Amino acid sequence: MNKTAAQIFEECQDSNFALVTLQGKKDLVLQKIASFDKGTRGDLVFAPNKKALQQSIENGASGIVFPANLAEMAATVAATTALFASKNIGISHALMKQKYGDHDHRRTGWGRIHPSAVIHESVQIPEDVIIGPHVVIEQGVTIGKACIVMANVVIEHDAVIGERVKIHPGSIIGWECVIGEDCMILSNAVIGGEGFGYSQDQYFNHHRIPQTGNVVIGKKVTIGANNTIDRGTYGPTTIGDGSIFDNMCHVAHNVSIGSNCIILSGFLCAGSSTLGNRVVASGGAMIKDHVNICDDVYLMHRAGVIKDITQPGMYAGSPVLPMKNYVMSNAIYGKLNELRQSVRKMSNGHANSTRIEE
């Protein structure tokens, strides 16, 4: 990095960075970004709360980005430290680390296009695209500017890759699939594999139904490592802009997932289901086929969705219940043995009373 605090503040004046003010020693040179609990002299750190800010001060970090409401506490070290106040510390952390501390995927050690790559003559590779070893790019593929295609990636015929897409090693982009701008596809993801479509005859032999749709992924989407997103039977399987997938998730054919969703590890979604915008699925969530989930739904505690969810809110358990009902059911479940003993005593007491009356 090797920039003064004043230079960094000037470069991050865009409101997207959420910085409000720069106080203290503005001519300090900041060399790198570090964690708030390890950062020392020359480091820029991000302190999300009062405890982290205190630790950053004690460690002697040269630059500290902190929530604006802690300005009074930060002022105690203003003479020796560069202090960046932020109205959203999480956003400042994300965007400033992207700008100054991200890994440089263009640092490969070989030329722009590795000689082992196999690229069909019909494919135009923009001058700022990086192609790694043993990449295979088939006929009719379109690749946008500033893409990075890493080792052993396969892009099948007529796929469309938007600008500034990073495709990590071993991933496969299926034929005619579309990846939007600024996406990141992590290692060994399979986008546009054959959807699971079969019919059975009277002897229960399986007959494949060709899956001739595709997958369409919007802009600024992250697909985690070892994800599989199957192509549609006729139309597309779709992922909306800004959605982020953790590792090891599966999306079946004809599924539609909305914008800005968060999908965590172990997510399994059966075919022809629809998830709205801003759906959050925690680890191990499972969605039955042909289910519709509205916007702003949170699926918690290994949720199992077997019917439509039409109201925003938190749902948990399998099959899912609204969170309030789920918590109540768990509380009752924990007392079942106690209730059983109480019922047994009541039953025994009733039997004794009956014998006395007789």
Domain contains 130: no
End-to-end CA distance of the chain: 93
Question: In this predicted model, what pLDDT tens digit does every residue of 177-208 receive, in sequence order?
Answer: 999 999 999 999 999 999 999 999 999 999 99
| pLDDT at res. 275 | 98
Same domain, 295 and 192: yes
Q: What percent of the chain has pLDDT over 70?
A: 97
Tokens of 187: 């290692």
Boundary residue ending a domain (100, 134, 149)? 100
Q: In Å, what is the CA distance from 223 to each residue of 24, 113, 174, 232?
A: 41, 24, 14, 18
29: domain range? 3-100
| Phi/psi of residue 279, nearest 5 degrees | -80, 135
| Phi/psi of residue 65, nearest 5 degrees | -100, 125
Same domain, 311 and 178: yes
Three-state DSSP class for residue 338: helix
Boundary residue ending a domain (77, 100, 123)? 100
Can you give the pTM of this predicted structure? 0.89
Boundary residue ending a domain (68, 83, 100)? 100
Kindly state the average pLDDT of the residues 303-312.
97
User: What sign does the dihedral 300-304-307-308 (CA atoms) show?
Assistant: positive
Domain contains 116: no
Comparison of pLDDT for 80 and 95, the residue scoring more: 95
CA angle 75, 79, 80 (to 5 degrees): 110
Three-state DSSP class for residue 99: helix
Q: Which residues are catalytic?
A: 253
| pLDDT at res. 354 | 55
Domain contains 132: no
Domain contains 24: yes
Same domain, 297 and 193: yes
Same domain, 218 and 89: no
125 contacts 131 by C-beta, under 8 angstroms: yes
| pLDDT at res. 239 | 98
| pLDDT at res. 15 | 85
CA distance 101 to 218: 26
| pLDDT band at residue 347 using 50, 70 and 90 as cut-offs | confident
User: What sign does the dihedral 170-174-175-180 (CA atoms) show?
Assistant: negative
Question: In this predicted model, what pLDDT tens digit does every residue of 28-66 receive, in sequence order?
Answer: 999 999 999 999 999 999 999 999 999 999 999 999 999
How big is the chain by its Cα radius of gyration, in Å?
Answer: 27
Question: In this predicted model, what pLDDT tens digit does every residue of 152-185 receive, in sequence order?
Answer: 999 999 999 999 999 999 999 999 999 999 999 9
CA distance 114 to 105: 14
| pLDDT at res. 357 | 57
Choose among 216, 270, 266, 268: nearest CA to 243. 216
Q: In Å, what is the CA distance from 69 to each residue of 8, 15, 41, 217?
A: 21, 18, 24, 39
Domain contains 235: yes
Same domain, 306 and 175: yes
Place of tokens 């965007």: 95
Residue 356 has pLDDT above 60, yes or no: no
DSSP 8-state assignment for residue 113: B
Domain contains 203: yes
Same domain, 51 and 190: no
Same domain, 71 and 203: no
Same domain, 277 and 180: yes
243 contacts 263 by C-beta, under 8 angstroms: yes
Domain contains 344: no
| pLDDT at res. 350 | 60
The CATH number of the domain holding residue 205 is 2.160.10.10
Look at the chain and report how many structural domains it folds into: 2
Question: In this predicted model, what pLDDT tens digit does every residue of 91-119 receive, in sequence order?
Answer: 999 999 999 999 999 999 999 999 999 99
Same domain, 54 and 194: no
Average pLDDT, the chain: 94
Residue 351 has pLDDT above 60, yes or no: no
**Which residues, other chains included, contact 253 with Cβ-Cβ below 8 Å and sequence gap of 6+?**
195, 196, 197, 211, 213, 230, 231, 232, 233, 237, 271, 272
Same domain, 13 and 95: yes
| pLDDT at res. 341 | 82
| pLDDT at res. 323 | 84
Question: In this predicted model, what pLDDT tens digit does every residue of 238-261 receive, in sequence order?
Answer: 999 999 999 999 999 999 999 999
| Phi/psi of residue 354, nearest 5 degrees | -65, -40
Same domain, 282 and 178: yes
Stated as kind and residue range, the H or E segment containing 9 is helix 5-11
Count of other CB atoms within 10 angstroms of residue 105: 13
| pLDDT at res. 261 | 98
CA distance 40 to 61: 4
The CATH number of the domain holding residue 15 is 3.40.1390.10
Same domain, 176 and 315: yes
Please name the residue ranges forming H helices in the chain.
Answer: 5-11, 50-59, 71-74, 89-100, 323-334, 336-357
Domain contains 300: yes
